[in-house]
Amino acid sequence: MSSSKEEAGAVPAAAKSSWGPFLKSIASFNGDLASLTAPPFILSSTSLTEYSGYWAEHPEIFVAPAQENDPQKRALLVLKWFLTTLKQQYSSRSEKLGSEKKPLNPFLGELFLGKWKDPTGEIGETQLISEQVSHHPPVTAYAILNEKHGVKLEGYNGQKASFSGGTISVKQVGHAKYHLREFDEDYLITLPSLHIEGIVYGSPYVELNRGSTIHSSTGYIAQIDYSGKGWITGKKNTFSATLKKEGSKDILYAINGQWSDGFTIKEGKSKKELETYNAKTTEITPLYVAPIEEQDPLESRRAWAKVQESITTGDLETTGTEKSKIENEQRELRKKEREEGREWERRYFTRVMDDPVFTRLAESPGIAAEEGKTDGIWVFDEKKFSQVAEKARAGGEARAEEAANTVA
């Protein structure tokens, strides 16, 4: 662990005067820390809706279970895929930016859309849909689709943060579901809790704690336990995972390592090493996002363009002005909706009273939906998705015809 002196150096000299008051405001704050205004130097130019893309930055690993006929090995491949997402989800930003930054708080209805292209044709195109389905409390829903291999991930999550002893603790609420069309197979994934260390010294980084589980419709259960770096011994971002058959104590596979570095997969009984994974050297596939001028007004990078530019250039005054414009526009929209007695229509997701897949897989382990903390249970709406896609196709054809007539 870095010394206090080393970590203190992470706060820019010009920002030290605002850092102390910010820490005091965190310590005395009673409520959702996400609503606090952070010092500009710790702000990220990325909206939280973009974080959904971290689930599939290795498309070849994401679809690998669809190509395995053995259900036990499929369950292992799903576990492996989940573990490979952790580095991107929880440490890639601090490695790139020097420390964890506070993301932009998405507005209700904000979208982040993209796709992972496959020039080889072997994996096929993988599509990302991310939408902010609630602002109070903040909840992001997402779906990741690979039509060629029949793989679909969908889920939603929110966070509840608290501050104590120089550390921000974050409890994630919500869940993810991974579906394999060929085998009509589902996996329910719970989300890890986390804490953000280094706040006092202005060099925040994420550490996971407690655990996650993956329950499959074929009866396999994966348990992942996280442990951070101790003060004297141990390595940061450490985890251990096991895969068992429900009702059995026998460990089929064991996986150990660091989610930010690498891990080793071993057979349960024989302890035979089956595979090693290096998180640092495995390349990610870049996500393609349409140019800003082609994006919907609700898409993150178009909506926040001026804010993101001012954060990048260090123009703090413009950052505040442009953020306020968006926030005030949103307040006026919500006010108008209340006056008219209507609710914002989500574009790709729908709130439901019950999700049969979740209910079936959550019953045995006793996992609760906690819908009161996420403004409901959210599911990806295939009908809405098809309607949006059809409308886009029709619009594209109309533009092409207009262009042809103009040329003629």
Tens-digit pLDDT profile for residues 171-194? 899 999 999 999 999 999 999 999
Indicate the residue type of 36.
Answer: L
- Is it the case that residue 100 has pLDDT exceeding 90? no
Is 276 domain-assigned? no
- Looking at residue 287, what is its pLDDT? 97
Mean pLDDT within 87-105:
75
- 69 compared with 408, residue with greater pLDDT: 69
- 120 token code pair: 């080889």
Mean pLDDT within 134-153:
97
Give the H/E segment covering residue 185: strand 185-190
- 264 compared with 95, residue with greater pLDDT: 264
Q: How many domains does the chain have?
A: 1
Which pLDDT tens digit goes with each residue over 13-42? 555 555 566 666 665 555 555 555 666 666
- Is it the case that residue 246 has pLDDT exceeding 60? yes
Residue 322 banded pLDDT, cuts 50, 70, 90: very high
- 127 compared with 119, residue with greater pLDDT: 127
Is 156 domain-assigned? yes
- Looking at residue 17, what is its pLDDT? 56
- Is it the case that residue 9 has pLDDT exceeding 50? no
Q: What angle do CA 39, 40, 44 make, to 5 degrees?
A: 115
- Cα separation, 155 vs 117, whole angstroms: 22
Is 154 domain-assigned? yes
- Is it the case that residue 329 has pLDDT exceeding 90? yes
- Is it the case that residue 7 has pLDDT exceeding 90? no
Closest CA to 84 of 207, 261, 293, 229: 261
Give the H/E segment covering residue 61: helix 59-62
Residue 233 banded pLDDT, cuts 50, 70, 90: very low
Mean pLDDT within 250-256:
98
- Cα separation, 194 vs 196, whole angstroms: 7
Question: Please, are residues 83 and 255 in contact by the beta-carbon 8 Å criterion?
Answer: yes
Q: Tell me which residue range forms the domain holding 41.
A: 30-210+284-315+342-400
Is 232 domain-assigned? no
- Cα separation, 76 vs 304, whole angstroms: 39
Which pLDDT tens digit goes with each residue over 46-58? 999 999 999 999 9
- Looking at residue 180, what is its pLDDT? 98
Q: What angle do CA 5, 9, 15 make, to 5 degrees?
A: 135
- The pTM for the full model equals 0.89
Is 133 domain-assigned? yes
CB burial readout 242-269, b (16+ within 10 A) else e:
bbbbeeeeebbbebebbbbbebebbeee
Average pLDDT, the chain: 87
Is 138 domain-assigned? yes
Question: Could you tell me whether strands 102-104 and 111-116 are parallel, antiparallel, or unpaired per DSSP bridges?
Answer: unpaired
Residue 205 banded pLDDT, cuts 50, 70, 90: confident
In 24-166, which ranges are E strands? 43-47, 102-104, 111-116, 126-135, 138-146, 151-164
- Looking at residue 307, what is its pLDDT? 94
Is 96 domain-assigned? yes
The conformation of residue 42, written as its DSSP 8-state character, comes to: G
- Looking at residue 235, what is its pLDDT? 81
- Cα separation, 231 vs 177, whole angstroms: 36
Q: For residue 9, how far is the Cα from the chain centroid?
A: 29
Percent of the chain at pLDDT exceeding 90:
68
Residue 228 banded pLDDT, cuts 50, 70, 90: confident
- Cα separation, 177 vs 186, whole angstroms: 7
- Looking at residue 4, what is its pLDDT? 29
**Can you spell out the DSSP letters for 296-310?**
-TTBHHHHTHHHHHH
Is 311 domain-assigned? yes
Please tell me the chain's helix, strand, coil percentages from 3-state DSSP, rounded to the nearest 5.
35, 30, 30
